[in-house]
Amino acid sequence: MRALTFNGAAAGLVMVCNAVLMLGPAVGQASPRLEIGTAGGVTIRGASGSRTVTNFGIPVGVGPEFSPMMYATLFTTPSIMVEPQIAFSRTSAGTGSYTSLTLAGQVGYCTKSSEGGSPYVAIGGALQWSKATYDSPGFSGSASTSGPAIGGEAGYRFVVKSALGVRVNARYRRWFSDYSGLNEFNLAVALGAVL
Q: What is the pLDDT of residues 81-122, one digit of tens each?
A: 999 999 998 888 888 999 999 999 999 999 987 667 899 999
Task: Report DSSP state, residue 64.
Answer: T
Sort 153 into a burial class: Cβ within 10 Å, 0-12 / 13-18 / 19+: buried
Among 46, 1, 20, 34, which Cα is nearest to 125's? 20
pLDDT band per the 50, 70, 90 thresholds, residue 20: very low
pLDDT at 48 over 60: yes
pLDDT band per the 50, 70, 90 thresholds, residue 136: confident
pLDDT at 9 over 60: no
Q: Spell out the domain ranges in the chain.
A: 6-24+32-91+100-128+148-194
Find out whether 66 and 54 touch, Cβ atoms under 8 Å: no
Three-state DSSP at 13 gives helix
Provide φ and ψ at 95, rounded to 5°: -110, 5
- CATH architecture of the domain covering 6-24+32-91+100-128+148-194: Beta Barrel (2.40)
> pLDDT (tens digit, 9 = 90+) per residue, 50-78?
889 998 888 888 888 878 889 999 999 98
* Torsion of Cα atoms, 126 then 64 then 45 then 103, to 10°: -20
